[in-house]
Amino acid sequence: MSEAKRLAGEKAIEYVEDGMIVGVGTGSTVAYFIDALARIKDRIKGTVSSSDQSTERLRAHGIEVLDLNATGPLSLYVDGADECDPRKCLIKGGGAALTREKIIAEASDRFVCIIDPAKRVEVLGKFPLPVEVIPMARSLVARELLAMTGGQPVWRQTTEGQGVVTDNGNLILDIHNLSITDPTAMEQAINQIPGVVSVGLFARRRADVVIVGGEPPTVF
Ligand code: 5RP
């Protein structure tokens, strides 16, 4: 599947224009995009990064990483996804970077999503839906998510059995066993729970363009 990710990441370079500041997502597909971006780094003004992981990779390539507060709105955001439905609604956050990803997506005129074919689904929800929560609200939010969605919220752990801590110092609950027929309504409802920082449903601000890696890549 990494070949499909590479093909998607490299195709996204076609959306980068000279002088742009490019919003950069997080994950293994985005890593291919960053590597391709490095080859044309002299043609762009810089990037805004959605995670410490991406910032590290960008800087290792000598690509400038800027503060979103200083750049203002962006023309382009490129990011991966964990699931994508036919209306370009997404589940994101498998890499725990959903909040900064959502902020950059919102700040960008065009969101180009890069995926491998396995990410395409008819209905979102097989991939557990990530929710970033303030630590003291973890149990409260888990109870409310259970009652609201009928899915099973699970506190995400590292391989060493510690709670995963996001770049923002928060925790992740993954909601299992969902079938999300109205992603916009679910996104809105989960956002209302006190203690929720953000939910990894990208429906209100969904992708504008989806590139599915393959030989050749398909775009919809
Ligand atoms: C990180 C994300 C990623 O875009 C998503 O998890 C896909 O990752 P990958 O490209 O490694 O499959 O949302 O928070």
Locus of tokens 């993954």: 174
ipTM of the complex: 0.98
pLDDT of the residue at 162 = 95
Using most ligand atoms within 8 A of CB, pick from 6, 7, 10, 29 the residue to mutate for ligand 1: 29
Collapsing DSSP to helix, strand or coil, 32 comes out as: helix
Q: Model confidence at 159, in pLDDT bands (50, 70, 90)?
A: very high
pTM over 0.95: yes
| Å from CA of 218 to ligand 1 middle | 19
pLDDT of 4 > 80? The answer is yes
The strand pair at 108-115 and 46-49 is best described as unpaired
For ligand 1, whether the C-beta of 6 sits within 6 Å is: no
- Please report, in range form, the residues annotated as the binding site for substrate: 26-29, 79-82, 92-95, 119
Which domains are present in the chain? 2-120+204-219 (3.40.50.1360), 129-198 (3.30.70.260)
User: CA 206 from chain center: how many Å?
Assistant: 11
Q: Model confidence at 11, in pLDDT bands (50, 70, 90)?
A: very high
Query: Which ligand 1 atom is nearest residue 115's CA?
Result: 10
For 48-61, how does the pLDDT look when each residue is reduced to its tens digit (9 = 90+)?
999 999 999 999 99
Mean pLDDT estimate for the chain: 98
Using most ligand atoms within 8 A of CB, pick from 55, 92, 116, 199 the residue to mutate for ligand 1: 92
How far apart are the C-alpha atoms of 196 and 205, rounded to whole Å?
Answer: 18
For ligand 1, whether the C-beta of 130 sits within 6 Å is: no
How far apart are the C-alpha atoms of 37 and 15, rounded to whole Å?
Answer: 11
What is the pLDDT averaged over residues 164-187? Answer: 98
pLDDT of the residue at 141 = 98
How many of the other CB atoms lie within 10 Å of CB of 77? 26
Q: What is the DSSP letter of 43?
A: G
Please calculate the CA angle 114-190-118 and round it to the nearest 5 degrees.
Answer: 25
| Å from CA of 95 to ligand 1 middle | 5
pLDDT of the residue at 1 = 55
pLDDT of 143 > 60? The answer is yes
For 96-138, how does the pLDDT look when each residue is reduced to its tens digit (9 = 90+)?
999 999 999 999 999 999 999 999 999 999 999 999 999 999 9
